[in-house]
Structure 1
Amino acid sequence: MRQDVAHETISTNDDEKALINWLILSQIPRFGVSRWLKFYSKFNINLAELLSSSAETLDEFGFNQQQISAITTPNRQLIDKSLQWFYDKEQRFLIHFAHSKYPYLLKQIPSAPPVLFGYGRCDLLSSYQLSMVGSRNPTPQGKESAKRFAHLLCESGWIVTSGLAMGIDGLSHQGALIGERSTIAVLGTAIDKMYPRRHIKLAEQILEHDGVIISEFAPGSLSRPENFPRRNRIISGLSLGVLVVEAAIKSGSLITARYALEQNREVLAIPGNIQNPLAAGCNLLIQQGAKLVTCIEDILEEFPQVNDLLANSNEDKLKKKSFQSLASDKLLDSVDFEVTPLDIVAQRSGIEVTEVMSKLLEFELRGLVTSVPGGYIKLGEK
């Protein structure tokens, strides 16, 4: 049995095969990325081998009939449509969980999407992001706060991420665009269906300003009400924190805040008048421990290390220089393109294990290696 892994590094010739495998995995009911990683850790069978297994073998592994059917007879029409969408035009991307450009923070959440469909700059997904969410019917004060804080965050070097919905979401994107900055929108619909239709122009403006629009839902997927709260885990998962601008007690924004807490992200909220039902959700979050925000400084002080990086006007040059130096680093040279145990990396490099772990985490954040069951894998550039 080959010593490959769920996070396998793929060569150019194997790109489409790996992509198809992950598209098939995304069709398996109640078998997402986290369950796949546990399966791999237990049985040491890579994704291609799993998907080529017989129904009898899958039954022995404990898959139910619905799952077995999805593996042995996947929806090829949906796969073909996904690939056709991807190859149809430029400025589109389709990345899977094991791809080197899959955003690191999103990879850490319990229910990371197996694939991401997107328009625009894929690399922007790995930028420092703060999510902004709130009511679809905000007050005038809420509208002003959304635009102002989004603009100020972008001026401070952050990327604002939201859901392209009416209200606070759309206003947050608009606030980011005021300074001609990039912003990221996460759809709750198929990637080829912009919703709401009223925001098609806004979506165009996002892409015109080097922004990104993504969805976990393949082109042609049916719109379902449950997909909107589901996409909220991606909005929070991409970000270091979530700012709730204005929200009622029972709202999708509080679902996003709950996801953020589960993902160990910061939750921040703008307080409001106790007589305003649209402030009740924010006030409740503050009561429960969310950071009270009245000015941009309240947000920035929560992320001092990130702000130090963003404040450096030479950050891009330093990143490039650092990446080039890391690429020839002795420690990095000790990691193979196949699974390399931690003790082997330490032995080869001659560096203490504790220091190796710290350095490998830095490499992982930079997209140079990825942690897998049993060790680390070096990632190739795409």
Structure 2
Amino acid sequence: MRKREQHHRALISLMQIEGIGKHTARNLSEQTDHNCSVLFEKSRDELIESLGLTTELAQKIVDFDGWDHTDYILDRTTQLNCTMIGLGDKEYPHRLYHIYDPPPLLWVHGNTEALAMNGLALVGTRNPSTYGREMAQYWVEQLSGLGLTFISGFARGIDTIVHKTAIRHREITIAVLGSGIDRVYPSENRSMIRRLIDLGGALVTEYPPESDPLSHHFPERNRIVSGLSAGVIIIESGLKGGSMITARCANDEGRELFVIPHALTFEKGQGGNSILKRGEGKLIQTRQDLFDELPWLASDVGVASAGIAGSAGTGVAGASTGVAGIAGSAALVGAGDSAHSLRRRWEECTMDEISRMICQCLSEVNKPMTLDHLSEVTGYSVHDVMIRLISLEMDQLIEQRPGNRIKLR
């Protein structure tokens, strides 16, 4: 058995020993120059003296007798046509290795090289709104063709939309599982695996074959979603859930964290808004915002640094989010302000074409309008209109009226 295979066999065994967690496994791997098999060749005293292990832990390593199960896992890995990547292997993703508790082993089905590529993680709720679904598609489409990998958790909802949209645009996508490679969850996503792999993507997990999708696996796998990426985009999330765990992992791991803004009173967007409120993430409206924060992204693909906004181009009538409380209320314009002075105020501001068209519509109609009506009249998608409304209200150029209607201030 080659050194690499012996190392993998030892790592599988170590992870079966109570008291050895992921952080300890990395320390042991580094102390043995990534050849953990030598641990099982040492006496208890040698383990204590050379590695500083406690007497109890050293004795557990000496007494380990689960080799049959270890070899069964190795055999199943071969049968499933998977690749194992262990700590210290040259294929081990550099970014992931440097998080606090990197997985000792990864099981990969597909292209192992995809794990080392520059990628962004796009995550969100399992039960997205119309707006959330539109945003998941929009951002994958906006970032397609830039040589990125799209990383997500293969869960229902936003994750699935991210993977499917990436596949539809023939992009590389990485699905991080919370189960063994042969226990794909949810089962309905199995149908996209072949296409995902054919396009150069991969399924990846830290759990051995035949590991069921247990509830505690999903929060654990979120650190891998973040750890593989150069940055994380929160598409839509409530105050609790896996996306907020991924956001915390991103901050802990030093990843750039980006948030798609939502209406303040919209429950499914409160998680992302809370991140922005605490200053833990950056609001993004266009992919230029990403280029500003990740300059290597623009330079690597030769994208000009000046205004790239793009459009979802899918206008959704009757989107469920509305614009309730987009940026909170501000002091009302004095009663003496005339319609002429209001028009002059927004007309004199610097803004993009869509924002100007929104203000023009509100000025001409001269009465409050709904988000859907503005989308219909301007011809732009709900997303494009809503993003501009957020900026316009922050600039105190518009205000919300009862019934989620918008008017010029």
TM over 0.5: yes
Q: Is the 8 A contact 1:27 1:74 kept in 2?
A: no
Distance 1:204 1:114 in 2: 27
Report the alpha carbon displacement of residue 158 of structure 1 after superposing the two structures with TM. Answer: 1.3
Structure 2 residue 229 is the aligned partner of structure 1 residue 234: no
Partner of 1:51: 40
SS at match of 2:121: strand
Report the alpha carbon displacement of residue 297 of structure 1 after superposing the two structures with TM. Answer: 1.8
Partner of 1:107: 97
Matching residue's letter, 1:210: G
**Tell me, which stretches of 5 or more residues in structure 2 are unaligned?**
304-409
Residues 44, 234 of structure 1: CA spacing in aligned structure 2 closer, same or farther, 3 A cutoff? closer
Matching residue's letter, 1:20: R
Q: Is the 8 A contact 2:259 2:276 kept in 1?
A: yes
TM-score normalised according to structure 2 size? 0.68
Report the alpha carbon displacement of residue 66 of structure 1 after superposing the two structures with TM. Answer: 6.5
Partner of 1:132: 122
Partner of 2:202: 212
TM-score normalised according to structure 1 size? 0.72
Report the alpha carbon displacement of residue 24 of structure 1 after superposing the two structures with TM. Answer: 1.9
Distance 1:228 1:264 in 2: 21
Structure 2 residue 201 is the aligned partner of structure 1 residue 202: no
Partner of 2:6: 17
2:67 to 64, 71, 76: 76
Report the alpha carbon displacement of residue 305 of structure 1 after superposing the two structures with TM. Answer: 1.7
Matching residue's letter, 1:298: D
Q: Is the 8 A contact 1:143 1:171 kept in 2?
A: yes
Q: Is the 8 A contact 1:148 1:175 kept in 2?
A: no
Structure 2 residue 145 is the aligned partner of structure 1 residue 145: no
Report the alpha carbon displacement of residue 157 of structure 1 after superposing the two structures with TM. Answer: 1.9
Matching residue's letter, 1:86: T
Partner of 1:363: none
Residues 206, 41 of structure 1: CA spacing in aligned structure 2 closer, same or farther, 3 A cutoff? closer
Distance 1:81 1:44 in 2: 26
**Tell me, which stretches of 5 or more residues in structure 1 are unaligned?**
1-11, 313-382
Partner of 2:255: 265
SS at match of 1:105: helix
Determine what percentage of the aligned residue pairs are the same residue.
29
Deviations 1:152-190 (A, max 9, x none): 223222111000000000101112112111100000011
Structure 2 residue 108 is the aligned partner of structure 1 residue 118: yes
Mapping 1:91-106, distance limit 5 Å: 92-106=82-96
| 70-79 vs 256-265, greater mean Cα deviation | 70-79
Partner of 2:154: 164
Structure 2 residue 80 is the aligned partner of structure 1 residue 86: no
Distance 1:39 1:13 in 2: 19
Distance 1:277 1:18 in 2: 48
Partner of 1:34: 23
Structure 2 residue 151 is the aligned partner of structure 1 residue 155: no
Structure 2 residue 278 is the aligned partner of structure 1 residue 291: no
Report the alpha carbon displacement of residue 225 of structure 1 after superposing the two structures with TM. Answer: 1.0
Distance 1:264 1:275 in 2: 30
Distance 2:84 2:26 in 1: 21
Distance 2:70 2:161 in 1: 35
Distance 1:260 1:47 in 2: 29
Report the alpha carbon displacement of residue 233 of structure 1 after superposing the two structures with TM. Answer: 0.3
Residues 183, 41 of structure 1: CA spacing in aligned structure 2 closer, same or farther, 3 A cutoff? closer
Matching residue's letter, 1:299: L
Distance 1:307 1:93 in 2: 33
Report the alpha carbon displacement of residue 194 of structure 1 after superposing the two structures with TM. Answer: 0.4
Q: Is the 8 A contact 1:133 1:243 kept in 2?
A: yes
More RCO (CA 8 Å, sep 6+): 1
SS at match of 1:188: coil
Q: Is the 8 A contact 2:148 2:172 kept in 1?
A: no
Distance 1:242 1:285 in 2: 12
Deviations 1:83-104 (A, max 9, x none): 21332254x2111011000000
1:280 to 270, 274, 292: 270
Q: Whose radius of gyration is greater, 1 or 2?
A: 2
Partner of 1:338: none
Deviations 1:179-216 (A, max 9, x none): 11110000001111000011111223211322100000
SS at match of 1:132: strand
SS at match of 1:173: helix
Partner of 2:358: none
Deviations 1:60-112 (A, max 9, x none): 7443646743553253243223221332254x211101100000000000100
Matching residue's letter, 1:82: I
Distance 1:160 1:69 in 2: 41
Distance 1:288 1:160 in 2: 26
Q: Is the 8 A contact 2:85 2:106 kept in 1?
A: yes
Residues 70, 253 of structure 1: CA spacing in aligned structure 2 closer, same or farther, 3 A cutoff? farther
Distance 2:191 2:28 in 1: 44
Residues 73, 101 of structure 1: CA spacing in aligned structure 2 closer, same or farther, 3 A cutoff? same
Q: Is the 8 A contact 2:29 2:87 kept in 1?
A: no
Distance 1:106 1:221 in 2: 22
